[in-house]
Amino acid sequence: MKKMTIRDAKKMYTTYGYQLFGDEIRALSSQDPDSCNQKISNSNYLHALFLTAFMFDNTSWSLDMLTGGNDGFLETLATKFYQALDRIKQNSGKARIIVTSENKTQFLTDTEKKYDNLEVFCLPSSCPENKEHFIVCDSLMVRAEEPHMAITDESDADVIRATVHINNCDEGKVFSVKFNDFWTLLQ
């Protein structure tokens, strides 16, 4: 049996979206919003798309992201990403993305022009390579990836693994502080 590639995962998500994870979305949605420490293992790129879409659907105030940024992940989630940015803007919040590459994708360039509440910073090539990638939404939801090599559409989807924390104030605070520290250093 052929292993799923990143391209396959993007296509499956674009075609089926949440339908692929119906039971999991119902379980996540039915959780008490005041409960903490919902920890989920993110098993592959497709699962990463689903969990990040869930995070974006539940984001209202802030979105901070440290990413490689050049694999089409946000483009695949464009609708969910735009909806999150709209809610953040409506609530006078902000979204910040640090891309661990010198070059911003056309998608991020266009999105930054469209949303004045979004700031994107690309690391210069003189910065040491950072393989740590994470997303923090509303300081309550975190997706922290395990380090991995650069990926392409032909990469095995299983190389992307992460731990996702939903409604976890403690992890949210840790990663918010970490992101703010990075952001401050870059300014």
- Name, of 57-71, 80-94, 132-146, the range with top average pLDDT: 80-94
What is the pLDDT of the chain when averaged over all its residues?
87
Conformation bin of residue 121: beta by default, left when phi > 0, alpha when psi is -120 to 50: beta
CA distances from 78 to 2, 37, 111, 124 (A): 28, 28, 9, 26
Instruction: Check residue 143 and give its pLDDT.
Output: 95
pLDDT of residue 32: 59
Phi, psi of 42 (to 5 degrees): -90, 115
Instruction: Tell me the mean pLDDT in the region 94-116.
Output: 93
Question: How many whole angstroms separate alpha carbon 177 and alpha carbon 175?
Answer: 5
Q: What is the pLDDT of residues 141-163, one digit of tens each?
A: 999 998 887 888 999 898 888 99
Lowest-confidence region among 59-68, 85-94, 131-140: 131-140
pLDDT at 2 over 80: no
Do 75 and 45 meet the contact criterion of CB atoms below 8 Å apart? no
pTM (2 decimals)?
A: 0.89
Check pLDDT > 60 for residue 166.
Answer: yes
- pLDDT value of position 184: 94
6-186 homologous superfamily: Endonuclease Chain A (3.30.870.10)
Spatial CB neighbours of 75, under 8 Å, sequence gap ≥ 6: 105, 107
Pick the residue with more confidence: 19 or 186?
A: 186
Asked whether residue 105 carries a pLDDT value surpassing 60, the answer given is yes
